[in-house]
Structure 1
Amino acid sequence: MPHREGQSLRIVFAGTPDFAAESLKALLASRHRVVGVYTQPDRPAGRGRKLTPSPVKRLAQEHDLPVEQPLSLKDADAQQRLAEFDADVMIVVAYGLLLPQAVLDIPRLGCLNVHASLLPRWRGAAPIQRAIEAGDSESGITLMQMDAGLDTGDMLLIERTPIDDATTGGDLHDRLAELGGRTLVEGIDALAANGLSATPQPDEGVTYASKLSKPEAKLDFRQSAAALSRRIRAFNPWPVAWTHLDSDTLRLWFATPEVDPVVERDTPPGTLLEPASDALRIACGEHGRDVLRVTQLQMPGGKPLAARDLLNANHPRLSPGQRLGQPKEADR
């Protein structure tokens, strides 16, 4: 039921990471009232494995908001506590818990989700990184009316943003976090005034963004330079693309395909070629005829550096002919 223009809504917010905190921050700066916050339980973090609150919890505490951290929303006590907030709407952003239908039905205007893709493309856990990895030319925010499915609800608002050949996972994350907050407030304002029209997601174009893992960030230099560069950008800043440098781990933070590469003969994929002034050059592709230009990398035990700095230092482990991705026999 729409509200009068200018009236504020009572909102319960559910979210956990930095991405979600940007949406909560936008709501706190709006005319609407956040009456309660749900977030994941504190998790061990850092070398000391100390229990650490989520970014959303820290922001909520700064604003003296009540915080709930249930392990599940399936039991009656948790649902009763949610009902006691008497919220007009629940906003869910990267919360990390599935909401059963009984929870979706509690707020008077239902539950809305801020999702970091152009639905129905990239439903699921890692839409930002999967869009870059797949070579999509754009991404965006979809404000969605939640239902019991996985990112299957009706679409309320869509905002787009481009992806170019320099966009990393971190770049797109930050841009979409800010865009998500703005889109959310626009949607809540419209909901409070005249309501929002809902558009069902089309059946065509559905893709799923599976959760990221460290093992999948290992590079296979038999892939094309274009595919490898997208994966490296997508996995920056986490889980960070990597390969073997003998028995150690070499992390690659930024790379581009070389335009019109010239490789005189078939070269084993992963072989270091003569470097450019500002980049390592790695043979890749099925026959080693592609060239990947790596301009930012992290040596074992070191920090991320520009390739130019490592090349100027004549780092002995980055000599032409060295083959990456091949652990020593003792390490296999």
Structure 2
Amino acid sequence: MEGRMRVVFAGTPEFASQALKAMLQAGHEVPLVLTQPDRPAGRGMKLLPSAVKQVALDAGIPVAQPHGLKLDGRYPEEAAAARQALLDARPDVMVVAAYGLILPQWVLDLPRHGCLNIHASLLPRWRGAAPIQRAIEAGDTHTGITIMQMDAGLDTGDMLLRKELEILPDHTAASLHDALAGLGAESILETLGEVAAGTARAVPQPEHGVTYAAKLEKAEAQLDFTLPAAVLERRIRAFNPFPGAVMPLPDLEQPVKVWRAQVLNGAADKAPGTVLRADAQGIDIATANGVLRILELQKAGGKRQPVASFVQGWKPHDQKP
């Protein structure tokens, strides 16, 4: 194939696996895949391969899973083995997508075309760990994919390609993730073609507009009704599926998880956190600014339910959750 390249791929979750599949389908040669070590998951806590590893195994591609890549770090033997595997792979370029390990300088320098990162935001906005979730939480109307030439900084490298995507009012982190994964796969193929043809142009990131997407913490799941209803509705979508959004309700021992909500017009006339009404249409909660109507929720250990089903087994009192 014209423009075919030897591409070492480094990535771990489903987002990254879409790009690996696309490169293989397009005919690029992938002699080596780097991914995170297998992690325990499920009720049995069995070690399971990452989504990227599964694609690599299905395609018969060798896989390296070092715990670290710094030759003078905590795992020098694993790093040295990975270095030898990379040297043996003789990559034209490395493509990185949600890998989960910091690449030391020796990795950045090894491929002749360097390392390209598929980043799920329009850089320089939302550098860092959780760009999809933070974009929704902040109320951004657009996001996208940036293909970046990696350097030693945190998502600071020159941009080779940017593709924009609208954030819809009903986008959750899960649904926006899926849309961006497809766009990322499309974008890296376009960029690899330009790199192979020698037509790729690296543009420095602007110095203004830099924001950081902090890592998601489980503590953020607790809904704080002293915030405006619009902020809470965005957080519910942004934290779906992780870390989720939870709130207590009267007469229930454990908090419930909230999956879907909407903002009602008009001011609440009671203290933030007060249950104003609960029926088949929704559970209305007073906030600092406006009313949040809960539409879909889940008891601890139960299944997700539309509010009409949930309220049949729960009758609230007029009190704060």
- Bin of the TM-score, shorter chain as denominator length: over 0.9
Matches within 5 A, 1:275-314: 275=278, 277-285=280-288, 290-311=290-311, 313=312
Structure 1 gaps of 5+ residues are 325-332
The answer as to 2:321 corresponding to 1:321 is no
What residue in structure 1 maps to residue 74 of structure 2?
none
Aligned to 2:227, what secondary structure does the other structure show?
coil
Contact 1:74–1:100 (8 Å) recurs in 2:
yes
CA-to-aligned-CA distance 1:144-188 (integer Å, 9 cap, x gap): 000011100000000111112211111110100111001111111
What residue in structure 2 maps to residue 143 of structure 1?
147
Residue among 38, 45, 51 paired with 2:41? 45
The answer as to 2:273 corresponding to 1:256 is no
Range that drifts further, 78-87 or 6-15: 78-87
Contact 2:136–2:167 (8 Å) recurs in 1:
yes
CA distance in 2, matches of 1:194, 1:300: 55
Shift, 1:293, TM fit: 1.2
Shift, 1:270, TM fit: 1.3
CA distance in 2, matches of 1:129, 1:276: 30
CA distance in 2, matches of 1:77, 1:214: 35
CA distance in 1, matches of 2:2, 2:198: 11
Residue among 108, 111, 116 paired with 1:107? 111
What residue in structure 1 maps to residue 77 of structure 2?
none
Q: Counterpart amino acid of 2:318?
A: G
CA distance in 2, matches of 1:322, 1:134: 30
Contact 1:274–1:320 (8 Å) recurs in 2:
no
What residue in structure 2 maps to residue 132 of structure 1?
136
CA-to-aligned-CA distance 1:174-205 (integer Å, 9 cap, x gap): 10011100111111111112331000011111
Shift, 1:212, TM fit: 0.7
CA-to-aligned-CA distance 1:30-88 (integer Å, 9 cap, x gap): 12111110000111112222111111001100000000011111224432321110000
Contact 1:275–1:320 (8 Å) recurs in 2:
no
Aligned to 1:91, what secondary structure does the other structure show?
strand
What residue in structure 1 maps to residue 221 of structure 2?
217
The answer as to 2:190 corresponding to 1:194 is no
Q: Counterpart amino acid of 1:168?
A: T
TM-score when scaled to structure 1? 0.90
The answer as to 2:31 corresponding to 1:35 is yes
What residue in structure 1 maps to residue 211 of structure 2?
207
CA distance in 1, matches of 2:179, 2:70: 33
The answer as to 2:154 corresponding to 1:154 is no
Aligned to 2:132, what secondary structure does the other structure show?
helix
Q: Counterpart amino acid of 2:102?
A: L
Structure 2 gaps of 5+ residues are 72-79
Q: Counterpart amino acid of 1:295?
A: L
CA distance in 2, matches of 1:255, 1:88: 48
What residue in structure 2 maps to residue 117 of structure 1?
121
Aligned to 1:257, what secondary structure does the other structure show?
strand
CA distance in 1, matches of 2:107, 2:182: 27
CA distance in 1, matches of 2:175, 2:244: 14
What residue in structure 2 maps to residue 15 of structure 1?
11
The answer as to 2:77 corresponding to 1:87 is no
Residue among 66, 70, 85 paired with 1:70? 66
Shift, 1:303, TM fit: 1.1
Q: Counterpart amino acid of 2:45?
A: R
CA distance in 1, matches of 2:42, 2:100: 21
CA distance in 2, matches of 1:323, 1:316: 15
Contact 1:156–1:198 (8 Å) recurs in 2:
yes
* Sequence identity (%): 52
TM-score when scaled to structure 2? 0.93
Structure 1 segments of 4+ aligned residues over 3 angstroms from their partners: none
